Structure 1
């Protein structure tokens, strides 16, 4: 009888031990199926977050943009999550909270969250733009086709040329001209009715001031390797992208709400409308 009781106690203890071990280290799968993401600069990574009772819980970081990708998460966390968030973080980040640069967000409905950049980065469905070719920073009427300024001159007076939503602190706009396959920045900006961030320090502009108080650039000197300034911008593409901030990538980020091929017959100081860009909204699904 004593032997039977001892064996019964041992069995119960083993079951309790196994159960306790499973509770202590439970895991389950969270699968990301995202489209449109591009690799980040070397100093940054993507990081997923589950929102549980209003608080963020990291699901892990990644650099590869090949999907699907699966992450192991405690079931108790996974099943109580109401929202998924994807952010961009420094590669050696010591802050346990998400950065301001959030790129995808979506609420769970059952076991699936449909995530989108629309609403967290911005709604670009009504984005529009205009620009002119001119080189105001050389103080004369030479090389006028070697500068681009995102403004509207149709009234005869410079006015705002871009219609874009205000971005959160983790993002900035950036203008580009793609010259023989090489993207060259016109500068980053947050205000469509003010100078861009490098207006006073641009290496490309002329020596006669900073130009008008709008985003833009004169490509007159100090050309990047392989290019020659000044140059005729006609026939090249101009792009407005939405960039993570901070950002160390030399290329435009994946979100490009506006684009235009500068017409071969364009005249300087004539307002030219832009068209929709190749990608204004990132989407995907997250499955638990």
Structure 2
């Protein structure tokens, strides 16, 4: 969409230099500029960000952008992104930044809101739409999906063995467009434990598990079908592995940003070397990856 807009603007500029303008001809409608100052957004692959001014039921696109390696907001050509709206954004109900698939078959917003804020005068303070202040959790090492007891450090499960077992994550509800995903990062490679929306109940996938059923909680055994970048057997207690919980974009069950971990990682826990299996290990809150910003209107 940005590419088409850029070509139309270029063509209009060339024609303006060739065709005389009659006296009294109508001027172009006014466009209101929105200037974004955002942090903690990372480059997207297979998707892009889009800015919207929300006026009641009407959602007006102010333009799309991506983030380059230096953190600059750029258009589809790598130039500085410019955002404009035909209506005064200072009078909007909200300024919203969404994540959109590429290509984008729908001209409206995807519903994956990464930043939002209501205008206050000529500014809008933009926040990630999930409160994460009370997030907490633990995990255990275990491999319940095979019959062996000699490889317990090859699996991670988000459960509390002392609670029956019970859930070990304290998580806020996520709005539509977002899901949780667990990761075991070992040998420098992030391995997904699956996506989920509740701390109770199994997650949506078990690609690496053994033949037995796992407990009704999020988690994964890293026993089979491992990527070639992993040298088996997996040992999460090797002193260099990390367990991470991310918040992932979700568009009708598909992540438009791809299979890699998304940039928002509110819980993280280093696995101690030689950590005992079936023992709760802490996940520490980390809100430093939560995006934020300001829109000047």
| Same fold, TM-score > 0.5, yes or no | yes
Residue 238 of structure 1 corresponds to which residue in structure 2? 243
Which of 19, 30, 35 aligns to 2:34? It is: 30
- 1:98 shift after superposition: 1.1
SS for the counterpart of 2:266 is strand
- 1:143 shift after superposition: 0.4
* Higher alpha-carbon deviation: 28-37 or 232-241: 28-37
Which of 123, 134, 139 aligns to 1:131? It is: 139
SS for the counterpart of 2:145 is helix
Contact persistence 1:27–1:72 (CA under 8 A): no
TM-score of the pair, normalised by structure 1: 0.85
Residue 267 of structure 1 corresponds to which residue in structure 2? 276
- 1:281 shift after superposition: 2.6
Report Cα offsets for 1:202-243 as digits up to 9, x if no partner.
1x1112x23101000101122212212322101211000000
Unaligned runs of 5+ in 2: 1-21, 74-79
Report Cα offsets for 1:132-172 as digits up to 9, x if no partner.
101001123120111100001124x2110111011122111
Tell me whether 1:183 sits opposite 2:190 in the alignment: yes
Listed as ranges, the matches of 1:194-209 within 5 Å are 194-199=201-206, 202=207, 204-207=208-211, 209=212
- 1:89 shift after superposition: 1.0
Question: 2:147, 2:45 → 1: CA distance?
Answer: 37
Question: 2:106, 2:259 → 1: CA distance?
Answer: 26
Contact persistence 1:222–1:229 (CA under 8 A): no
Question: 1:93, 1:75 → 2: CA distance?
Answer: 22
* Higher alpha-carbon deviation: 228-237 or 273-282: 273-282
Question: 2:66, 2:177 → 1: CA distance?
Answer: 19
Listed as ranges, the matches of 1:53-92 within 5 Å are 53-65=56-68, 66-67=71-72, 70-74=81-85, 76-92=87-103
Question: 1:129, 1:79 → 2: CA distance?
Answer: 40
Contact persistence 1:129–1:275 (CA under 8 A): yes
- 1:60 shift after superposition: 1.0
Residue 167 of structure 1 corresponds to which residue in structure 2? 174
Report Cα offsets for 1:154-210 as digits up to 9, x if no partner.
24x2110111011122111110111122111111111210111013xx1x1112x23
Contact persistence 1:84–1:106 (CA under 8 A): yes
The structure whose Rg is larger is: 1
Tell me whether 1:220 sits opposite 2:229 in the alignment: no
- 1:72 shift after superposition: 4.3
Residue 107 of structure 2 corresponds to which residue in structure 1? 96
Question: 1:41, 1:74 → 2: CA distance?
Answer: 26
**Runs of 4+ residues over 6 Å off in structure 1:** none
